[in-house]
Amino acid sequence: MADTMGHSATATRNTKVALGFCLLAIAPQIFELIWSIGTIFGWGTGRGPTAVVISHATALLAGAPGALIGAASGDTKKVSSEVLLALIYSYPLFVVAILTFFMTIRSAQDYVGGVVLMAVALFALWAGSDLQGMRGFSFGAGTAPRMFGGLLVALSAGIALTGLLTDGPPMAHYSWRGPLFVMAGILFFALAIRPLGLVVTGFISFMIAAAGSQETRWLEAAIVGACLTLGCAILFPYVLGLPMPMFPRFLAQ
């Protein structure tokens, strides 16, 4: 419960939470950077990492303030999407992060939940910022996303406020093992189903996912995994008639 938490504990947590929000504020930029590393090895298309870093850094440090000043002085030239991201998404979150330092969080669960949801809403606003708005009396493609994006910003701010004004549960405990291995299993399935086929992929994904629990007994899991894969290999393509690659591509040819 929140009221059992000492004051100093709240203070240290606040710093952590605020730093977390700062990280969240530049999460899309970081994500694009990680993604862009792939281009070095020739995977995917897009800009290289250096280009990403430079464009976002300039947008965050120079472009966005410039655009703000420009807007204030009535200058309406088109701004780049990096600048928009900084303006719509990163800056508001930085503001929230700074405010967090000075707040007493009474329910971290609600407060953090509200702020992260707000980040999602701001991100959606940015993602929909290139869409057309109202065209006369008819809605444009961007009208509804903006409407609901704005509404979600307001609602999530409300939730965050609840976290400040009323007592509630603190942050819940997250574990890493379950999510990690289950996600790894899913990811492996997605990447391998086409080249390796259902039989191999199903079994390996089963084993990866099984590693998510410390109770797993390997021999037992292997036997069940094999039976299940066999069952699926009969059930899905033959009984339900779903077209699905069965065996690795190199074996089939």
Partner 1 sequence: MELFANLAHGFVVAFSPINLLMCLIGALVGTLVGVLPGIGTIATVAMLLPITFGLPPVGALIMLAGIYYGAQYGGSTTSILVNIPGEATSVVTAIDGHQMARQGRAGPALAIAAIGSFFAGCVATVLIAVLGAPLTKLALAFGPAEYFSLMVLGLIFAVVLAKGSVLKAIAMIVFGLLLSMVGSDIETGASRMAFNIPELADGLGFATVAMGVFGFAEIIRNLDAGAEMSRDLVQQKITGLMPTRKDLVDSTPAILRGTVLGSILGILPGGGATIASFGSYTLEKKLARNPSRFGRGAIEGVAGPESANNAAAQTSFIPLLTLGIPPNAVMALMVGAMTIHGIVPGPQVMQKQPDLVWGMIASMWIGNLMLIIINLPLVGIWVRLLRVPYRLMFPSIVIFCAIGIYSVNNAPVDVILAGVFGLVGYWLIKHDFEPAPLLLGMVLGPLMEENLRRALLISRGDWSVFVMRPLSAVLLAVAAGLLVLTVLPALRSKRDEVFTESEN
Partner 2 sequence: MTFIRALTGACAVALASLGLVAPAEAQTYPTRSITTIVPFAAGGPTDVVARIITAHMAQTLGQSIIIENVVGAGGTTATTRAARAANDGYTLITGHMGTHAASVPLYPKLAYHPEKDFEPIALLAGTPILILARRDFPPKDLNEFVTYVKANTEKLNAAHAGVGSVSHVSCELLHSILDIKPVGVPFNGTGPAMNALVAGQVDYMCDQIVNAVPQINAGTIKAYAIATPERNPSLPNVPTTVEAGLPKFQAQAWNAMFAPKGTSPAIVASLNAAAAKALDDETVRKRLLELGSVIPGPAERTPEALATLVKNEIAKWTPVLKPAT
Measuring CA to CA, which residue among 129, 88, 109 is closest to residue 172? 109
Note whether 113 and 163 are within 8 A (CB): yes
- Is residue 118 within 8 A of residue 97, CB to CB? The reply is no
User: Is 62 or 186 the residue whose CB approaches partner 1 more closely?
Assistant: 186
The reply to whether 240 sits near partner 2 by the rule CB under 8 A is no
**What whole-number distance in Å separates Cα of residue 182 and Cα of residue 97?**
32
Structure tokens at 39: 């281009």
Q: How far is the CB of 234 from partner 2 (least distance, A)?
A: 13
Annotate each residue in 118-147 with x if it binds partner 2 (CB under 8 A) or - if it does not, as one string: --------------------x---------
Could you say whether residue 241 binds partner 2 (CB under 8 A)? yes
Q: How far is the CB of 236 from partner 2 (least distance, A)?
A: 13
Give 182 or 244: the residue with its C-beta nearer to partner 2.
Answer: 244
Is the Cβ of residue 102 or residue 238 nearer to partner 2 in the bound state? 238
The distance of closest approach from Cβ of residue 119 to partner 1 in the complex, given in angstroms and rounded to an integer, is 12
b vs e for 140-169, b when ≥16 Cβ sit within 10 Å of the residue's Cβ?
eebbebbeebeebbeebbebbebbbeeebe
Q: Does 6 bind partner 2 (CB under 8 A)?
A: no
Q: How far is the CB of 253 from partner 1 (least distance, A)?
A: 20
